[in-house]
């Protein structure tokens, strides 16, 4: 926002408060599915973003095994409610998947921002579930470290790089600007031990929007 430097409503606390109800936990089960959200038996855990009141959710394709049928999926909202969900579609190249929660209504969809307007050094926050649902709705803060990063020399896909702490479990969750708009979907971390070293990568929101529409 143009007035961000003079308006104290653009803080990480305000942004986190605005977005927390739009962030969900994703639990994937390959065997018996518990009645409640059991993190100990889940084969895969991640984060997701609500983008419609009736339960459409964005996450990473790798969270759901790059498959429509690999897992039985449960989505846990910020108030602890558990929903069954199915895979609408996924795209392995951009690592984006769309889920649909069963019998969901009245949810709080996130607002998406324009990732083409991002600047290096811009403040951002990440909200998600690092390490899984035991740490649901964790907020971390950082800056945009670089734009248009490639994760390999052969990749055609480019990412936003950030130094905000992103760990396993944050996959599929949102990267927000200080106005509380989604500007990216967290996808990967550069780390030899699987933990955050301040080099994380997010798929830009403008790319995500195109993939999700398709």
> Residue 65 and residue 43: Cα distance in Å, rounded?
10
Q: Is 20 one of the catalytic residues?
A: no
Active-site residue flag, 163: no
- Annotated catalytic residue within 16, 95, 145, 205: 95
Contact 173, 137 (CB under 8 A): no
Kindly name the residue from 62, 123, 179, 191 that is annotated as catalytic. Answer: 62
List, as one string, the DSSP characters of 18-42. Answer: HHGGGEEEEEEESSPPPSS--SSS-
**Percent composition of the chain: helix, strand, coil (DSSP 3-state, to 5):** 10, 40, 50
- What DSSP letter does each residue of 86-112 carry, written as one string? EEEEEETTTTEEEEEETT--S--PPEE
154 in active site: no
Q: Exactly one of 16, 22, 47, 171 is catalytic; name it.
A: 171
Task: Give which of 23, 19, 48 is closest to 181, Cα–Cα.
Answer: 19
Which residue numbers are catalytic? 62, 95, 171
């Amino acid at each position: 926002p143009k007035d961000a430097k003079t308006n104290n409503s653009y803080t990480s606390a305000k942004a986190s408060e605005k977005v927390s109800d739009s962030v969900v936990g994703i639990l994937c089960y390959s065997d018996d599915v518990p009645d409640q959200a059991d993190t100990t038996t889940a084969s895969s855990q991640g984060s997701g973003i609500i983008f419609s009141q009736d339960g459409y959710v964005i996450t990473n394709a790798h969270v759901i095994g790059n498959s429509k049928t690999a897992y039985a999926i449960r989505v846990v909202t910020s108030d602890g409610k558990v929903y069954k969900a199915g895979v609408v579609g996924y795209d392995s190249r951009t690592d984006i998947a769309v889920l649909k929660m069963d019998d969901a209504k009245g949810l709080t969809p996130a607002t998406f921002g324009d990732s083409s307007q991002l600047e290096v050094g811009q403040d951002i926050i990440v909200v998600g579930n690092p390490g899984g649902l035991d740490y649901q709705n964790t907020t971390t803060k950082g800056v945009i470290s670089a734009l248009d990063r490639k994760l390999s020399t052969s990749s055609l896909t480019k990412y936003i790089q950030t130094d905000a702490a992103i760990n396993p479990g944050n996959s599929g969750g949102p990267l927000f600007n200080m106005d509380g708009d989604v500007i990216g979907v967290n996808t990967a971390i550069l780390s030899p031990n699987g933990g955050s070293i301040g080099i994380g990568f997010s798929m830009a929101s403008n790319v995500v929007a195109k993939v999700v529409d398709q």
